[in-house]
Copies of this chain bind each other. A is one copy, B any other.
Amino acid sequence: MQHRAIGIFDSGVGGLTVCKEIMRRLPGENLIYLGDTARVPYGTKSAETVEQYALDAADFLVEQGVKLLVVACNTASAVALPVLRERFQLPVIGVIEPGAQRAVESQNHRIGVIGTEGTVNSGRYEEAIRQLLPEARVFTVACPLFVPLAEEGWAEHEVARLTAQEYLQPLLAAQIDTLVLGCTHYPLLRKTLQQILGSKVLLVDSAEETACSVAALFREQGLERPEHGGQRSFYVTDVPTRFERVGRAFLGRDLTQVEQVRIG
């Protein structure tokens, strides 16, 4: 069991930020990553549709014999976690619970959450945070332009700064001391967001927190692969060209030998 790979999926390149953190924290693990690039994005689509897409992606990874499923997409974590846990006999980790666990370290209990329309509409972050800290006040804002800005390579561009100023205005007004980056694209915008919020606001990167949770689970259940130098395989549902080009900034290294597969 220890020797099996970790299966990770996302709608596209965003989940590569989660992949990167898992690679950093657990360098000996074999990883299989699937980006559903033929149907990306999930963030503007309905819960029903995203649930179906998540099941298709998970089916593919489970067929590869993975030991753990990581849902490296906030929107899919928000709507599909229950159905995935019901369908499969292996542990399933999403990105929302780990982010919420970190967020409740907030001093003033005023927590901001930014994400896609799908994630914000689901109300899952409020729910997860309030379960851990019932007195928390949670302020959520959907930021649809952040994903295309990150993919365009404009994360530190004046346009990104102006967009962030507009989106974050209600969170500044609410005097949050903690902001959850509730979309796997947003770590690329970290510098821009921190500049606008000021250095005293803690940014919670769900990619980092999810990698932490994976490591903790492996320690608990003795699932860590004892060897060094894990293998990584990358699959996508559309032609790999754009994924390889755009994904580089998300993974922090070159992406090669990405293979196209059919799912669903």
Contact = CB atoms under 8 A, between A and B. Distances in A.
A45 B238 contact: yes
B148 A159 contact: no
A22 B145 CA distance: 30
Q: How large is the interface on A (under 10, 10 to 19, 20 to 34, 35 or more residues)?
A: 20 to 34
A57 to B, nearest CB: 15
A152 B145 contact: yes
A135 interface: no
Contact of A45 (B38, B152, B163): B38
Interface string A44-66: 11101100000000000000000
Contact of A163 (B46, B48, B159): B159
How many copies of the polypeptide does the oligomer hold? Answer: 2
Nearest to A143: B152
A166 interface: yes
A37 interface: yes
Interface string A16-55: 0000000000000000000001111000111011000000
A242 B45 CA distance: 8
A151 B144 contact: yes
Nearest to A38: B49
A117 interface: yes
A148 B145 contact: yes
Interface in A116-159: 117, 144-145, 147-149, 151-152, 154, 157-159
Contact of A148 (B45, B46, B144, B239): B144
A261 to B, nearest CB: 13
A263 interface: no
Nearest to A237: B49
Contacts of A242: 44, 46, 117
B37 A45 contact: yes
Among all A-B residue pairs, the 9 with the closest Cβ atoms: A46-B239, A148-B148, A49-B238, A38-B49, A159-B162, A159-B163, A46-B238, A45-B238, A39-B39
Given A147-B148, A159-B166, 11 more contacts: A39-B39, A40-B44, A46-B239, A48-B239, A49-B239, A117-B242, A144-B148, A145-B154, A158-B162, A159-B162, A162-B162
17 contacts: A40-B44, A45-B238, A46-B238, A46-B239, A46-B241, A46-B242, A48-B239, A49-B239, A117-B242, A144-B148, A144-B152, A145-B148, A148-B148, A157-B166, A158-B162, A159-B159, A159-B166
